[in-house]
Chain A
Amino acid sequence: MPLLWLFLIVLAIAATAFVLSRSRVLAMSGQDRRTLHSLPNYYGSNAAMKSAIPALLVLVIWLLAQPFYVNNAVSGMIPDSAIADSSSRGLVLAEVRRAADGLDLAVARGEMSEDEARNLRTDFTDVTTRLENAGAIVTSQITQPILRAAQRFRVMNTIGSQIMAVVVLLIALAGAFWAFRETDPVFRARNTVEQGIRALLIAAASIAILTTLGIVLSLVFNTIEFFRLYPASEFFFGTNWAPSFSGRGGASDLGILPLLWGTFYISIVALIVAVPIGLFAAIYLSEYASPRVRAFAKPMLEVLAGIPTIVYGLFALLTVGPLLVEVFGDDGLGWMQSGTAVMTAGLVMGIMLIPFVSSLSDDIINAVPQSMRDGSYGLGATQSETIRQVVLPAALPGIVGAILLAASRAIGETMIVVLGAGAAARLSLNPFEAMTTVTAKIVSQLTGDSDFASPEALVAFALGMTLFVITLGLNIFALYIVRKYREQYE
């Protein structure tokens, strides 16, 4: 693992720089440490920081940039004639990478010498069989252009890594040298180190922005790619969802409406379960319950929120589904065909959302000032009248916000619907029928074997984009309502 070694060497250089700079400044100060501007460790830290951080930064950037450069260079080597009609440049490049990996493996196992790996030709040796003998995964016959590209790929990667190692080590040494040179009792080492730490703190805080940026960019680029292959109007207004399973070919119907309908239907069922139960639980806990009941019931309800969704998914598939079939199925009322249905997923999702609604509403009800309650009692209202006519209206915006947050949770929930809702996309009103949702289809379109460049796979990014926009909108709206409400009493 040369990368690990490189990393360790850079750290070793930094450590040496730390020790050298620290002892240099101590030697320069003579016996009297009070002549130093900063504590001796700051001089050491300054040197360590200046040698390690720029070097590691260059290392990371190089690692990200090199594959691009190599890919572009290798991609130029493959003539259009080498790309079969049924294939694409991306697939051929993947094949090149696999062949290069195979060559690496063959060399590592000693089945091929390094020279052989660099200069093999398909017309003289059967490379495919030799690579397979070495245990490499080769999906198709390796042709001469692919082999040449793979050889070039290997060579460029090797040389690139070597240059990278040299550059990174030089930067580390240069940084160490620079810091060593400027080490001097009057040098303001603490201020420099603190500025460096501050920069690191800002970088850490910026990761949140980078993550959002990453989400948006990966969704947007792939969505644009999808709309190039499939008309946007048919995606947004199509009422039929029927992707073809061949992987390629334009026979797919990819209309989002049945998926959106399934998503909203299941979320509505979930909210119908969760909102009354959660709200009444919150009212009871905050207004009626004795401290002992509260201390027991509140954490117990919150346990429901801590259970992973995969557990709820299994609960829907294996417990609730069969139970509902027993009651509503052919042996009972005859409304339900199979265990996976809107009702199953909605019910279980509702259970999951109960603690979500109840603890958010609990906080909001508790935030209603006691003076409002006292005023109401003073006019002779009973406790329930006070709650219904004073507390709840005052808390209403917050509660609406909580319900919206719960709705956004329900829309984005994946495991319960993947396991409990079924796979058929339908526009139907019957809650006992299987329907599917946006999230479930993202999973099924991206976990298959289809190639990432096909509209069947890319549609998942468009679905993800829709999901992201809807949940983001709901969250922002909900937070806006909650904030606005809070300001009223502060």
Chain B
Amino acid sequence: MTDASMDSAPVKGRLTTVDARTRKRNAAEKRFKAYGLVAILIGLFFLVVLAVSILRSGLPAFTQAEVQVEFTLTQEEFDAAESQMLKTRAYEDLFIAALQGQLEERGLEVAFDPAAIERLLGKTGGTIREFFLENPDRIGTPVTFDLAASSRVDGYFKGRVTRDTVVDSRFLMVSDLDLVDALADAGIITSSFNWNFITGSDSGVDNPGGAGIGVSVIGSFFMMLVVLALSLPIGVAASIYLEEFAPQNWFTDLIEVNISNLAAVPSIVFGILGLAVFIQFMHLPQSAPLVGGLVLTLMTLPTIIISTRASLKSVPPSIREAALGVGASKMQTVFHHVLPLAAPGILTGTIIGLAQALGETAPLLLIGMVGFIARAYPEGVVSGFIDPNSAMPAQIYTWAARADAGFYEKAWGGIIILLIFLLTMNIIAIILRRRFERRW
């Protein structure tokens, strides 16, 4: 470069003093390095923001405001209530009387009407009547009822709903909040761990408080069983063929090209495939974990094949040669020697593939796993595979798409559970890799 030599020709400074040009170059160096550091910090910052917003919005889903009322029903009260026309109403009156009694015991005087209780706790009378009809021997003894507060009261407790944002509606009046405060002071409303969220089923669109993720966890579980049972043997078989047996010809090339392309096809396209082939063409049941599992199997296969091939490749050729040398056939060499040595790597790749499949949502939307309200646990193993169910990510999407803001909290809570599963699977994969990794 001629102009470069022109530039550098009149160097007058000394080596020990830093001239302006060097300073400029050094500054540029520092700047460049700083850009890199900033980029990494931005990435990490996003990670932290994501984690914080998941935890902050999701943790409240694991608690639930509950009203604890001790309640004694005498036989006479029971008979009187059962003889009335509006039976549940009679129980409700009894319940309110008991609640008022408990408030007065603690020296609190609040006026409230049955409608307010209904807004706070829903139809209490029915719950109580059902309990005593089922357990007639408990009549006359004190029974403690834990009644879940409505989602708005719950929101008030967690700070999602404040006095400023409450508008009088049939769900909650501003005046009800005084009652809630009084009950909270008296220790009647408490916040407790919400087991129903983990073990329960989805609720209707107007009851965010009762929604739980348990049923869809089971749906995901059955789906993962299908994925594991199909993608592991098929993926391993395909990789063994490609890595150990396939001759160099157009057919092998075709398979290779297909696998690398399938790995990059958008997941929604697999959903279209599932809808067209499994549901429209084969008439498999809609929303069934079996179909979801089949679609996710096809999606996971490329991942498993790629990682299995890598671990087969890492087994040194000397192992194969030794086996062949003592008279094993090619097939025996692969199945008796190469495959066991590659097993930890295959397992790790499979777990990572399963984790990916577990979090995948888009294809599930197309095969009907949204829109369906997963209300009940499957009755048995067969029903677990073929009866309509939801899956964790699909359930989260369903909640996120609902209008009531109470469901958003559930969606974030669902994400925490989903991430716990993913984290566990990835940690198992890392441990397996550390434990069994072999360097030849």
Hey, which bits of chain A sit against chain B, CB under 8 A?
1, 4, 64, 67, 97, 190, 194, 197-198, 200-209, 211-212, 214-215, 218-219, 221-222, 276-281, 283-285, 287-288, 297, 300-301, 303-304, 306-311, 313-315, 317-319, 351, 354-355, 358, 382-385, 387-388, 405, 408, 411-415, 418-419, 439, 442-443, 446-447, 452, 460-461, 464, 467-468, 471-472, 475-476, 479
**Bound form: Cα–Cα A297–B41 in Å:** 9
B207 contacts A by Cβ under 8 Å: no
Contacts of A382 in B (CB 8 A): 25-26, 28-29
**Bound form: Cα–Cα A479–B261 in Å:** 10
B144 contacts A by Cβ under 8 Å: no
A315 in contact with B50 (CB, 8 Å): yes
Q: Which of B234-249 contact A (CB under 8 A)?
A: 234-235, 237-238, 240-242, 245-246
Contact of B397 among A301, A313, A358 (CB under 8 A): A313
Most chain A CB atoms below 10 A, which of B246, B269, B330, B422: B269
A414 in contact with B411 (CB, 8 Å): no
B241 in contact with A201 (CB, 8 Å): yes
Contact with A along B240-268 (1 / 0, CB 8 A): 11100110000000110011111011111
B32 in contact with A304 (CB, 8 Å): no
Contacts of B183 in A (CB 8 A): none
Contacts of A443 in B (CB 8 A): 268, 362, 365-366
Within the complex, the shortest CB–CB distance from B75 to chain A, in Å, comes to 39
Closest residue on chain B to residue A222 by CB atoms: B276
Q: How many A-B residue pairs have CB under 8 A?
A: 262
Q: With A201-B237, A204-B238, A211-B273 known to touch, is A284 a contact of B268 (CB < 8 Å)?
A: no
Contacts of B362 in A (CB 8 A): 309, 414-415, 418, 439, 443
A284 in contact with B33 (CB, 8 Å): yes
Hey, which bits of chain B sit against chain A, CB under 8 A?
25-26, 28-29, 31-33, 35-40, 42-44, 46-47, 49-50, 53-54, 57, 233-235, 237-238, 240-242, 245-246, 254-255, 258-262, 264-273, 275-277, 280-283, 298, 301-302, 305, 329-331, 355, 358-362, 365-366, 368, 370-371, 382, 393, 396-397, 400-401, 408, 411-412, 415, 418-419, 422, 426
Nearest 8 pairs of A and B residues by beta carbon: A412-B266, A284-B36, A308-B359, A218-B276, A280-B39, A204-B237, A384-B32, A201-B241
23 A-B residue contacts at CB 8 Å? A198-B241, A207-B234, A209-B258, A215-B273, A278-B43, A297-B43, A301-B43, A301-B47, A308-B358, A308-B393, A309-B362, A310-B396, A311-B359, A382-B26, A385-B29, A387-B32, A415-B397, A418-B362, A418-B397, A460-B272, A464-B269, A467-B266, A467-B269
**Bound form: Cα–Cα A314–B258 in Å:** 33
**Bound form: Cα–Cα A207–B277 in Å:** 14
Contact of B302 among A194, A208, A387 (CB under 8 A): A208
Contacts of B419 in A (CB 8 A): 307, 311
Closest residue on chain B to residue A442 by CB atoms: B268
A318 in contact with B412 (CB, 8 Å): yes
Within the complex, the shortest CB–CB distance from A339 to chain B, in Å, comes to 12
Q: With A214-B277, A476-B261 known to touch, is A205 a contact of B268 (CB < 8 Å)?
A: no
Contacts of B237 in A (CB 8 A): 200-201, 203-205
B400 in contact with A317 (CB, 8 Å): yes
Contacts of A97 in B (CB 8 A): 283
**Bound form: Cα–Cα A311–B259 in Å:** 27
Q: With A280-B35, A300-B44 known to touch, is A207 a contact of B25 (CB < 8 Å)?
A: no
Closest residue on chain A to residue B382 by CB atoms: A1
Contact of B258 among A208, A309, A468 (CB under 8 A): A208
Contacts of A281 in B (CB 8 A): 36, 39-40, 43
**Bound form: Cα–Cα A215–B40 in Å:** 39
Q: With A215-B269, A310-B397, A314-B411 known to touch, is A276 a contact of B361 (CB < 8 Å)?
A: no
Within the complex, the shortest CB–CB distance from B91 to chain A, in Å, comes to 32
B255 in contact with A208 (CB, 8 Å): yes
Contacts of A313 in B (CB 8 A): 361, 397, 400
Q: With A201-B240, A208-B301, A308-B359 known to touch, is A467 a contact of B261 (CB < 8 Å)?
A: no
A215 in contact with B265 (CB, 8 Å): yes
Q: With A284-B33, A300-B44, A419-B400 known to touch, is A207 a contact of B50 (CB < 8 Å)?
A: no
Contacts of B26 in A (CB 8 A): 382
Q: With A281-B40, A310-B393 known to touch, is A319 a contact of B53 (CB < 8 Å)?
A: yes
**Bound form: Cα–Cα A443–B44 in Å:** 32
